[in-house]
Structure 1
Amino acid sequence: MGIRKYAMLGALALATVSSFCIPAQAEDVTITVWSLDRDIQPAPNLIADYNKLNTGIKVEYRQIQFDDVVSEAMRAFSTGQAPDIIAVDNPEHALFASRNAFLDLTDMIAKSEVVKTANYFPGPLASTMWDGKNYGIPKATNTIALYYNKDMFKAKGLDPEKPPQTWTELVDAARKLTDPAANVYGLTFSAKANEEGTFQFLPWAQMAGASYENINAEGAVKALDTWKTILEEKLASPDTLTRSQWDSTGTFNSGNAAMAISGPWELDRMVAEAKFDWGVTLLPVPEQGAERSSAMGDFNWAIFANTDHPEEAFKVLEYFVSQDNRMFKDFGQLPARLDIAIPETGEPKKDAALKVFVEQLKYAKPRGPHPEWPKISKAIQDAIQASLTGQMTSQEALDQAAAKIKAVLD
């Protein structure tokens, strides 16, 4: 995206500012916003810019901690102390919406000249939905794909321009690339017993025709068996079971793994640290022509149902949406929208990787949506651990998970 296009986007943002305004009152309406964002991230910066517009709405910001979002926000809602607007992790959105804690925005969005649902990737948009209604607006998004070390591919006789496209090709490449003498594993990923493990495994199950609602389907068993093969043959480090995505991908960055399943949050670290040629490709599929899927992360905006100022709060969200073209340029986050191109950074490998991640986002699916997602996810995590540690077969572990999930769904 060139300078001219940015100028056009900037002009559009300015032209639409009037749509966020309401007639000035004797005293500004105050809208409170809670988010995890630090000073270099979107929320506090967008709020500061909005307040400079003097629209008759004053926005106040409070940074909250990740582990406290659900408990503190629900407690605040139940006591009438909730903020007007909050940013929540997308798998937690359904919990609030299902309990009528979030305002139904369906009609407001339908009438909005700024928020257009057709502009969003399907996955992020789906995460804001509950019972056929829209209870939020995607804030930003991310996903996962396959990083690979082109220098190691060349050294092992593999074509660096033809990375693995199927699970079989991935395992075969990992076998050729694993080099114990050089302390190099073929692949690194996270199978940790927390949400990161589910985040990485669920797309594999989905690509094979399963879902959280039938997690013991044949395709999901094949997916977990593939992971088991990778661990049993030591194509990935044993601590794959305990390491985070960030830590596991550090193995790749340091040259101790030839491939890594991770997200765009790694790109700046890759550019700064990697001393080798690398690329990114879409997640391998079970077989050629199979359905694609990928994980989907990041947060959504929502308005609490007991706000005293629903119209003003929505005006603020409209302003945030109007600034989505800044999401990557200013804050390094991927916008959740199809209609916003990612500008080139001047780093060829990073720019090529970003194109892959944007393509992968077309297939990204939300976790759920379901109000009891943490329980569903825990059942999947337990199955992954039971299988990969040899306590159960993949079928037995996923059968057990399916029974736990059924009890939640019923």
Structure 2
Amino acid sequence: MLFSLIAVMLLLSGCAGFQVGSDKGAALEAGAEGKVVVDFWSFWGSEIRRPVIEKIIEDFNNSQDEIVVKHTFVPWGDIWTKELASIAAGDPPDVVINDIKATALRGQKKQAMNLSQFLEKDDISERFYPELWEATLYEGDSYGVPFNTDTRILYYNKEAFKEVGLDPEKPPTTWAELEEYAAKLDKKNGDTYDRLGFYPLFGINYDVWMLNAAGQNVVDNKGNVEVDTDINRQTLDWLLGWKERYGDNVINSYKSQIDSQQSNPFFTGKLAMFVNTPTFNTQIRDYAPELDFGVAMLPESEPGNGHTSWGGGFVAEIPEGSSHPKEAWEFIKYLTDQDAQEYWAVKNYDNVANIKAAEATAKNAEMSEKDRIVYQMAVENMPNTLLTPTPLQAPDFPTLINPEIDNVMLGKKTPTKALQDAQAAVERLVKENQ
């Protein structure tokens, strides 16, 4: 939508809605008089996403005669800092898109509104994947409504599989098979590689593999710490084995290509298998449209251990102090209902939190067959996908673990020593926050 200059300026300054006799009343455009203005903040300002969210807003505004939603774009690097400042100033937006991982923490700090008063009348919790809804809860009450999400899946090059005699319809299902397939797919030329079969720390980090192996977070929502465990030591040993196999020079060379996106070696056939989000498919469409690839769940560490993956996402929240919480709730219900969610998913090729919308998107005729195949894998992988909500007792725990794991990968500490030190540090953090 295009707004008049004065409306935009007022929105950016924190306009939350229409109040008779107030300065905010001047922000109403022609045709909105008598309606409640809901100020909605998002970071979706790109040429792809902004038109989609603004079409959803337009459809909501046209669907009823009492509320007008105004979209305020705030850049990614600023939105949550500005939101906290607006809450402190007593003039927050009415709805904001926020990170799902810290929703409970914002509920605890009274930065997000308790939604129980609305859910008692309109219980929409069944719309969403249980793991996502659980992440919005603090002391049993929800403080945000899931909007979109993601997961991690395995991409593999079918032509490379055929070349070395692997069945292109049977990707690896265990870590042992992953190593076996990678060895067959490796194509070495002297001290260099013309093709790398796989490297587990391309696309994801060590924490996803720990989650995959253990099937649980290293710190749970009760503050229990499970960092120094046998399964985590085995995972680090496994990762070190891959590092020793290829060496730093090869790994760093490939990593620099992956970081440049469009020259990702998976696009050119120089990397046969790669882990990433389902939305990585859009980069394949852009940079390697002829690539013949398949997708699969993450291999499990041992047969029967589970194909556990990791995901995140965003929620729609009503900041504490919103001028129009009831109207904000009506918009959030619309934003997270099936039609709006499917429209967002199809137009943006994004994984959404609404189960019915996600399942419908995987069959949507507007998308290509390959797009539908990847999206269907994402849907099938959601029951395997765990979130890592910020534990209230240890909000900064990754800053204590990450340096220790870095020391392992740099050869400065053994996995045993690093995990022991990380365990002790996180336990101290939990104790400080009790």
Smaller-chain TM-score range? 0.7 to 0.9
Q: Distance in 2 between matches of 1:188 and 1:367?
A: 23
**Aligned partner of 1:96 among 85, 103, 106:** 106
Q: Distance in 2 between matches of 1:249 and 1:40?
A: 22
Cα offset for 1:299? 0.9
Q: Does 1:211 align with 2:218?
A: yes
Q: What is the correspondence of 1:251-262 to structure 2 with a 5 Å cutoff?
A: 251-262=265-276
Q: Distance in 1 between matches of 2:425 and 2:206?
A: 15
Q: Is the 8 A contact 1:128 1:135 kept in 2?
A: yes
The aligned counterpart of 1:12 is: none
Over the residues paired in the alignment, what is the CA RMSD in angstroms? Answer: 2.8
Runs of at least 5 residues in structure 2 that lack an aligned partner in the other structure? 1-30, 220-224
TM-score normalised by length of structure 2 = 0.79
Cα offset for 1:34? 1.2
Q: Does 1:180 align with 2:197?
A: no
Q: Deviations over 1:216-246 (max 9, x none)?
A: 2211222222222112111895237788778
Q: Distance in 2 between matches of 1:409 and 1:245?
A: 35
Cα offset for 1:382? 2.0
Closer/same/farther in 2, CA of residues 282 and 50 from structure 1, 3 Å limit: same
Cα offset for 1:26? 6.4
Cα offset for 1:77? 1.3
The aligned counterpart of 2:342 is: 325
Closer/same/farther in 2, CA of residues 408 and 48 from structure 1, 3 Å limit: farther
Q: Is the 8 A contact 1:88 1:300 kept in 2?
A: yes
Q: Does 1:362 align with 2:383?
A: yes
Q: Distance in 2 between matches of 1:202 and 1:77?
A: 37
**Aligned partner of 2:44 among 19, 37, 40:** 37
TM-score normalised by length of structure 1 = 0.84
Q: Does 1:285 align with 2:300?
A: yes
Closer/same/farther in 2, CA of residues 261 and 407 from structure 1, 3 Å limit: same
The aligned counterpart of 1:393 is: 414
Closer/same/farther in 2, CA of residues 391 and 255 from structure 1, 3 Å limit: same
Deviates more, 1:163-172 or 1:367-376: 367-376
- Bigger radius of gyration: 2
Q: Deviations over 1:8-42 (max 9, x none)?
A: xxxxxxxxxxxxxxxx9963222111111125324
Closer/same/farther in 2, CA of residues 373 and 363 from structure 1, 3 Å limit: farther
The aligned counterpart of 2:233 is: 221
**Aligned partner of 1:118 among 114, 126, 130:** 126
Closer/same/farther in 2, CA of residues 129 and 328 from structure 1, 3 Å limit: same
Cα offset for 1:199? 6.3
Closer/same/farther in 2, CA of residues 244 and 160 from structure 1, 3 Å limit: closer
Q: Is the 8 A contact 1:146 1:283 kept in 2?
A: yes
Q: Which amino acid aligns with 1:325?
A: E
Q: Distance in 2 between matches of 1:363 and 1:106?
A: 28
The aligned counterpart of 2:277 is: 263
Number of residues paired by the alignment? 381
The structure whose RCO (Cα within 8 Å, separation 6+) is larger is 1
**Aligned partner of 1:109 among 112, 119, 129:** 119
